[in-house]
Amino acid sequence: MSMFKGEKVLVTGGAGFLGSHLARRLVSLGATVTIVDNLSTGRLQNIEDIRRKILFLKGDLRDQHVAIKACSGRRYIFHLAADMGGMGYIAKNPVILNNNLRIDLNMLSAAYADVDLNGFLYASSACVYPEYRQDVPWANRLRETDALPAQPDTLYGWEKLTAEFLFKSEVEVRLPRLHNVYGPYSSFDERGKAPMHLIMKAIKHPNPPFEIWGDGKQTRSFLYIDDCIDGLIKLMESNFQEPINIGSDKAIAINNLAKIIIRISGKNIFPKHDYSKPQGVRGRCADITLARKVVGWEPKISLEEGLMRTYNWAKSLKVS
């Protein structure tokens, strides 16, 4: 029997990509789920199939009163809400530092005051890792201890690292560092990750042209959403309270990611490179030794399978 059965569980940002998948899983496990979302990026369509099974609160967690109301009486809190996006978004929107710190401080205060709370999870990010450990395409896999000395390459990374310390100082917290999660319900706009942008370009080819940002030699690892949700559930069920990578340990160059997507599309596409666009660090890949050891988790869905599922979902939407 699931530990969440019959329990009151809060998912912040629950109408977004990650949150909607997590809420759906928790409902299937018998939890009484509350979602709080301001719908700035989340969509009610993402949770339409479970709308009657959950309590939805529309509210902005930058308002402390919203955070207090959302957290009150919840036994478990999955805090996923954040102002975030792909490299194109976080590189040009410094306001995310202000927005996210306000959200996190309010959630910290509300969670600290909630006497019913039994478990709190804060979704951190691979963006916390220092730029100097990611300066070549085939850099070493990132271990959790590599985050310090700190030098994230974006303000988003600085905020996430700061928030890890904030939550650890006040509450018992689970701290997954998520690495490039993708899949159905993810965004295709500037907040989307590289797989979503390339899938959209392949579906719409030849207009717009199939462009790769930078030289395409930069590497990343990508985690399919179902595997990510498995990791979050297992981590909350555990007693582990230190940062832990939830990602894939298989790096791939963006050029090769594009080749897989082009093959899935079945189209005759010749990519072009746009060197004026931001491309982030040169190489990032997760070391998941700790997740295997202490949580018993590792990804099960291959990149090719995950991309195929995501492509077919996106194609069915007739994205524009």
Under a CB-based contact definition with an 8 Å cutoff, are residues 265 and 206 in contact?
no
Q: Classify residue 87: in a domain, yes or no.
A: yes
Q: Partners of 58 in the beta sheet?
A: 37
Q: Classify residue 284: in a domain, yes or no.
A: no
- Residue 235's Cβ-side half-sphere holds a number of Cα atoms within 13 Å equal to 30
Task: Reply yes or no on whether 156 is catalytic.
Answer: yes
Look at residue 55 and tell me whether its pLDDT is greater than 60: yes
Look at residue 117 and tell me whether its pLDDT is greater than 90: yes
CA distance linking residue 37 with residue 13, whole number of Å: 5
Predicted confidence (pLDDT) per residue in 189-201, tens digit:
767 789 999 999 9
CA distance linking residue 249 with residue 274, whole number of Å: 27
CA distance linking residue 20 with residue 181, whole number of Å: 13
pLDDT in the model for residue 42: 93
Average pLDDT over residues 252-259: 98
Under a CB-based contact definition with an 8 Å cutoff, are residues 286 and 247 in contact?
yes
Task: Say what the pTM is.
Answer: 0.95
Domain total in the chain = 1
Under a CB-based contact definition with an 8 Å cutoff, are residues 214 and 181 in contact?
no
Q: Classify residue 97: in a domain, yes or no.
A: yes
Predicted confidence (pLDDT) per residue in 6-50, tens digit:
999 999 999 999 999 999 999 999 999 999 999 999 999 999 999
Q: Classify residue 19: in a domain, yes or no.
A: yes
- Residue 158's Cβ-side half-sphere holds a number of Cα atoms within 13 Å equal to 12
Q: Give the distance from CA 255 to its chain's centroid.
A: 22
Q: Classify residue 317: in a domain, yes or no.
A: no
Q: How confident is the model at residue 113 (pLDDT cuts 50, 70, 90)?
A: confident
Q: Which candidate, 158, 306, 153, 144, places its Cα nearest to that of 221?
A: 306
Average pLDDT over residues 307-320: 86
CA distance linking residue 70 with residue 91, whole number of Å: 31
Q: What is the distance between the terminal CA atoms of the chain, rounded to a whole angstrom?
A: 43
Average pLDDT over residues 227-234: 98
Q: Give the distance from CA 3 to its chain's centroid.
A: 23
Q: What SS3 class is residue 175?
A: strand
Look at residue 319 and tell me whether its pLDDT is greater than 80: no
Strands 243-246 and 173-178: parallel
Q: Classify residue 202: in a domain, yes or no.
A: no
CA distance linking residue 42 with residue 67, whole number of Å: 17
Look at residue 212 and tell me whether its pLDDT is greater than 70: yes
Q: Classify residue 286: in a domain, yes or no.
A: no
Q: Give how far Cα 132 sits from Cα of 61, 136, 220, Å.
A: 33, 9, 16
User: Which of 156, 182, 224, 311 is the catalytic position?
Assistant: 156
Percent of the chain beyond pLDDT 90?
A: 87
Q: How confident is the model at residue 90 (pLDDT cuts 50, 70, 90)?
A: confident
Write the CATH number for 164. 3.40.50.720
Look at residue 268 and tell me whether its pLDDT is greater than 80: yes
Alpha-carbon Rg for the chain in angstroms:
19
Domain hosting residue 109, numbered range: 8-131+141-183+222-249
Q: Classify residue 260: in a domain, yes or no.
A: no
Under a CB-based contact definition with an 8 Å cutoff, are residues 167 and 173 in contact?
yes
Looking at the chain, list the stretches that DSSP marks H as alpha helix, in order from N- to C-terminal side: 17-28, 64-71, 87-90, 95-113, 155-170, 194-204, 225-237, 254-265, 289-290, 303-317
- Pick left, alpha or beta for residue 236 (phi over 0 → left; psi -120 to 50 → alpha; otherwise beta): alpha
Look at residue 318 and tell me whether its pLDDT is greater than 70: no
